[in-house]
Amino acid sequence: MPCRKSFPWMRDIKQSYADQGFEVIAVNLDKDRRLADEFLKAMDVNFKVAFDESGTSASSYKLQGMPSSYLIGRNGKVHASHIGFRDKDKQQLELAIQSLLKNK
């Protein structure tokens, strides 16, 4: 399950860059909130999790796969996006985060 693999990394990356203003916000699209709550209890999250049972955010971002990540700059514009989560992607994602944080 990609979400189960990505949540620990998102927790760690948020902790690493929080002092530079980096935030992680996960959006859960599950229709059954109970399942999402059970999953979150099992994970040690330090970031916000929003719930969008209607899927409005998925439509707005033209979601093509799960999980998907969007790096949004301080100006509100999407800087980068990424579909899926694999261990080999971590370095590329972190470099994109570092690049975005340099742009104040």
Residue 77 exposed, middle or buried by CB count within 10 Å (0-12, 13-18, 19+):
exposed
Number of domains in the chain: 1
Q: What is the structure's pLDDT at 2?
A: 66
Range(s) of the domain holding residue 27: 2-102
Residue 24 exposed, middle or buried by CB count within 10 Å (0-12, 13-18, 19+):
buried
Across the 104 residues of the chain, what is the mean pLDDT of every consecutive 10-residue run? 82 96 92 85 89 90 87 91 90 94 83
Q: What is the structure's pLDDT at 16?
A: 97
Q: Cβ(74)–Cβ(82) under 8 Å?
A: no
The amino acid that residue 67 corresponds to is P
CATH of the domain at 40: 3.40.30.10
Q: What is the structure's pLDDT at 104?
A: 67
